[in-house]
Amino acid sequence: MFRRFILILDCSCSTTQQQVKDLIPLVEQIFNQVISTSPLSQCAMVIVSDQRAYFEIDFTQQLSELLSPLQQDKITPNGAFSIANALQLLNAINTKPYQTKEALLISFSAISYDSQNVFVISNELKSQKVKFSALSINSTMQVLQTLSTDLSGTYEIFPTIQLAIVNFRLFQSVTRSDIQTNNATLFNLADISQDSICGCCGHFNEFTFTCQNCSASSCKPGPCYCCGVWLGEVLSLIRVKKQEYQLALSNNGNCICGDPGEVQCQSCNVYYCVKCCQIVQQVGICCCSE
């Protein structure tokens, strides 16, 4: 049985092409470790970006030599940046019937990350009988979350990729130096904790969301069962809850990135930058539960 390995780079709209190129050492390390476990017959890399950023990665000589015996596909879509886009591309990649298909998602943002993407792509890939793993990292290449799923639907740490922080010291140059804490606050309501008891249903779960407002745990993204705060990123809040929370577009352009597109909560008047997913004003948590 031959293996087909698919690497997905999910880049946010705040990610620059140079930051994507800085991920190449990590890509090399991943392919090295995956190939060392058992031979691959084919490999594919899917780079997901939005319309404002068209990324093209040139493999280094070392990586090219490593992958040269394999049939390769490298796809960079120039369209709407979304997990759905990546899934469509995965379906478009031809796989021979006798091959197993494995996928690794690297969700990378220069500032933050969207935790709901992991749930969406995990469910889709499981339905396609694809072995799936996810790795989310931020601008300092700190590992925000890692999980994998087998075909039975259980989650476990991906065994072949070592995720010690020391492996990511090569990427400290990716850190956004222009983010100043005195005029911008990063907004991240949700994180994922391993091996936790879910507060909303009382069952043991391999991973849960933890509300950073009241520290209650939940087994799924959505409004916190305790305080009502939405467990998700600002961009997820804008995308999923725009009508419910009556968010309105404005053009004040107060964010340090200079993008004029902002979203204002009509209840507490807090402004969020649509482009780089951060709070413009120095405030705490939005009253999105009201």
Which helix (H) or strand (E) segment holds residue 81: the answer is: none
Residue recorded with tokens 């606050």: 185
pLDDT value, residue 7: 74
CA gap 153, 97 in Å, rounded: 22
230 bridge partner residues: 223
- Residue 185, judged by CB atoms within 10 A of its CB (0-12, 13-18, 19+), counts as middle
Q: pLDDT-based confidence at 17, cuts 50/70/90?
A: low
CATH of span 2-174: 3.40.50
Portion of the chain with pLDDT greater than 90, in percent: 0
| Cβ neighbours around 233 below 10 Å, total | 24
pLDDT value, residue 136: 59
Portion of the chain with pLDDT greater than 70, in percent: 7
CA gap 138, 161 in Å, rounded: 18
Residue 35, pLDDT > 60, answer: yes
Instruction: Name the residue ranges covered by the structural domains of the chain.
Output: 2-174, 185-279
- Residue 190, judged by CB atoms within 10 A of its CB (0-12, 13-18, 19+), counts as buried
CA gap 48, 80 in Å, rounded: 8
CA gap 179, 140 in Å, rounded: 12
103 backbone dihedrals φ, ψ, rounded to 5°: -135, 145
Residue 45, pLDDT > 70, answer: no
Residue 189, pLDDT > 50, answer: no
| Average pLDDT score over the chain | 51
Mean pLDDT of all residues in 262-274: 55
CA gap 151, 198 in Å, rounded: 23
